[in-house]
Structures are given as C-alpha cells and as structure tokens.
Structure 1
Amino acid sequence: MRLFNHTARIATTAALLAASPTPALVHPHVFAEARLEVMVNPDRTVKSLRHLWRFDDVFSSTVLMEFDQNADLKLDDAELQEVANTVHSSIAEYKFFQMVTADGKDVEMVPPPGLIVNFEDGQFIILFESTPKEPLKLAGKINFAVYDPTFYTAIEFTDDDRMAVASMPDDCGRKVIRPDPDEALAQNQATLTEAFFNDPAGTDMSKIFATKLELTCKASG
C-alpha cells in the first residue's frame, strides 16, 4: 500500500511512501488482501467499519527493512509504532482509502485516531476502525468500498465473505459488486476526462473499479 505525500517520499519505505506516480507507473505495485466488517447498532445505525489489510511478502519485507532501526530482523514495539504513525499520516489525505455513500451521497467518516500494525507469518498487517461522523441509518442503498485512489495499491477482497455485516437487519439485502474494468470504462466514458487517461491517479476516478459492498434496506418507520 502506498502511503503518500504527493510531493516527496516520507521515508524510502516503501511503496507506502513513494512520490506521486507518473502515468507510466499507474498500476498496482503493492497488493493487500483485505477484510471489511460493518458493525451495526441495535437502532439500525452503522456503528463502525473494521478494516484488516494483509500485505504481500515483497512489500512486507520492505517495511521490515526500512523500519528495523536496530537491524535485529524484527520490529519491536517502538518500531511498530513508528510504522503505524507513518502509515496513519500518509493515508489520512486519502480518507484511509474508504468510500461510503448513502443513496448516492458521500458519507463523511471520522478518521481513526490510530492504527494497529503487526507482522504475522512474515506479512505486514494493518487494522483500524472508523465511525460515521453523523448517524448512518441502514435505509435505502448504502455502499461501502475500500480502494487506493492513486492505483498504486491493489486492495483485494478475495471472496465475498470478506465484506461482512455484523447484525444485519432482516430486511436488508447484501451484495458484493466487482466491476468489470472494460465495462466500467464504457459506462463512465462520458464523465472521464483526458486527465484520467493521462494520469488517473490525479482524478480519483479509480473508484469506478472498486469492489463494493452494497446494502439495500427498507426504510424504517
């Protein structure tokens, strides 16, 4: 996952901290298997979104090498905290790669106060939880997506069960939508500008390719 600051690297880390891509580099360099769990309150409002991202071996090794300050081939608590702080500040600009909409309107999320990071079986793992800024009722059509608007990181949900809803109301339907890239381009041709084709990282139109969890619920009385 690339953790940006659009003007310069914040540490050689890693793809996490690379400078903005040129058009020739606009394709995934880092891969993460993800899990998203939507937590629901008894009053049918969304309590939080729980995220888990597990990164590929190459990127995980890069993180280890860059932050292992004492060269003992592992990250101690202080080093892990440095990773967490760096990642947090780097992806905050990109709303933590989250997109939530209610009946087509953007839903603002409260930034997580911090991240939990760890290594497990040689893979770098990030966990965090975010909450809606305003109460988000499960009514109508609610969409949740996780994607990198710069195209640098491919955040993948390897099966539909990895986009889950805890305590989903009985009158809600759940669907995971995986857009076909060619179809997505064709359907959005009218709204895609020349800037997108020259450098999609600068347009945030990568959301049309994002895997989405769609909930369709009856309006509560």
Structure 2
Amino acid sequence: MRVRLWLRLALMAGFSASLANVAAAHPHVWITGQEQVIFGPKGEITAIRHAWIFDEMYSAFVTEGVGKKGEILTKEDLAPLAKSNVEDLAEFDYFTHAKIQSVKVEFGEPTDYSLEERPDKLVVLRFTMPLKTPATAKLFSFQVYDPTYFVAFELDKQNGVSFVNAPKGCTNNVAGAKPLAAEESKKLTESFFSGLSPGSDFGVKLASAVIVACP
C-alpha cells in the first residue's frame, strides 16, 4: 500500500545499486513542513495550510524531463502532478490529523493546491485543509505524518508553524516526538512494515504535535 506520489522515487531507489541501502528501510522521502493555522472572523480555526518542501533527491527525480532544461518549473508546469498528488493523499487522510482535546477534527476536501520548484531546485507542495466545522482554538492540536512512515516529516526550524488572522494572545507550542534509538531504526525494514496489520498507525509515534491555545 503506497501513495503514487512517492512511487517514482521508490522505483528509482529499487533499481539503483547505489541506493540499495536506502531502499531497504524507511523512510524513503523526507519533507520539511511549514504549517499555517488559519482563523476566521469569529476567532475560530477554519483551516490548516500546508507547505511541504521535499528533499533534494525526490525533487530532482519528480521534475526530471518536465519543462525546459535549466528553467525553474512553475505552478502551471506542475499543475497536473499537483492535482494527482493531492488526490492520492486522500487514502491517508492527507497526512493531517487534528483533535480538540480527545475529539477528532473532521476536514473537508483540500483546496488551493499547487506544486512548484524553488530557485534552490527543491519542490514545494502547497494545499489547504478546511475544517468541516470551525473549531475553538482552546486546546486544539494537530499532527502531520505518514502512518506508514514511508515519508518522514520535520517542521521547519525557522518557520514551522504560523498563524493567519489569529486573535490577540494566541500561541502555539510544538511537542517534539522522541527520536528512535539507533537499534530501533535498524528494524525499520520493508519486511517490518509489510508485517504490520492493516490500519496500523506507526508514523504517529514519530510525529511532533502542534498545540494551539487562545484566550
């Protein structure tokens, strides 16, 4: 069970002898996330806006053969891929999980999605996840992660979480997950993940939690 978004990279790794060790264990793709919490006029949280910056290897591979050589790819160049990427993420709830206290928050369909190449050649996927029902910002928390850990997420150290139209006094706190020990990391082979039962949520163990609080 894999999202097609990562399939081309997985195939490349599988057929490249120089990447044999990478193909043998998880994760395969690395993402640096910049997350925006969007507030409505009544001070409630209405959406989470993602900006996911892909690692150098994935960015180079996914843009290979697209557009004119030497030119930075635009949103228009990558529009078909952006659409298929976001659609493929539906199987995994768009890697977006939120709660108010212990109650799961339901999201609507993603909007405003785009994919583009930055001047540094890294590819960025952006899309917005609207809440089905605007939520109070008191004790609101969310995590971004791949349950299969095929993709590893890390919040950007400089701009990991920001607010849009937040009421005065709102704050956020990032509770980082405890990293795996070296011996634990060695166990993350393909056979380990293929042996997990359907619906296993391994990725949550390694996901940071963003906690939003407003007066």
Question: Where on the TM-score scale, by shorter chain, does this alignment land: which range?
Answer: 0.7 to 0.9
The correspondence for 1:13, drawn from 8, 13, 30, is 8
Shift of 1:13: 2.0
Aligned-partner Cα distance in 2 for 1:215–1:16: 39
> Contact 1:178/1:211 (CA < 8 Å) preserved in 2?
yes
CA deviations on 1:39-62 (whole Å, 9 max, x unpaired) are 112312112211101111110111
- Aligned residue for 2:30, secondary structure, equals strand
The correspondence for 2:144, drawn from 134, 143, 146, is 146
Aligned-partner Cα distance in 2 for 1:77–1:161: 22
CA gap of 1:17–1:44, structure 2 versus 1, over 3 A, is: farther
- Aligned residue for 1:179, secondary structure, equals coil
Partner of 1:87: 85
* Letter in structure 1 aligned against 2:203: S
Partner of 1:57: 56
> Contact 1:101/1:144 (CA < 8 Å) preserved in 2?
yes
* Letter in structure 2 aligned against 1:134: T
Say how many residue pairs are matched: 194
Partner of 1:187: none
CA gap of 1:196–1:84, structure 2 versus 1, over 3 A, is: closer
CA gap of 1:77–1:129, structure 2 versus 1, over 3 A, is: closer
Aligned-partner Cα distance in 2 for 1:63–1:81: 13
Partner of 1:131: 130
CA deviations on 1:95-135 (whole Å, 9 max, x unpaired) are 11101101111101112145200011211111111110012
Partner of 2:95: 97
CA gap of 1:58–1:136, structure 2 versus 1, over 3 A, is: same
Partner of 2:44: 45
CA gap of 1:146–1:39, structure 2 versus 1, over 3 A, is: same
CA deviations on 1:49-103 (whole Å, 9 max, x unpaired) are 11101111110111012x62x7746657665122112211211111111011011
Shift of 1:157: 0.7
- Aligned residue for 2:49, secondary structure, equals strand
Of all paired residues, the percent bearing the same amino acid is: 24
* Letter in structure 2 aligned against 1:214: I
- Aligned residue for 1:116, secondary structure, equals strand
Partner of 2:211: 214
Partner of 1:205: 202
Aligned-partner Cα distance in 1 for 2:38–2:78: 27
Shift of 1:198: 4.0
Shift of 1:158: 3.2
Aligned-partner Cα distance in 1 for 2:5–2:59: 17
Aligned-partner Cα distance in 2 for 1:46–1:80: 30
Aligned-partner Cα distance in 2 for 1:168–1:133: 19
Unpaired runs of 5+ residues, structure 1, are: 19-23, 184-194
Aligned-partner Cα distance in 2 for 1:174–1:61: 34
> Contact 1:52/1:128 (CA < 8 Å) preserved in 2?
yes
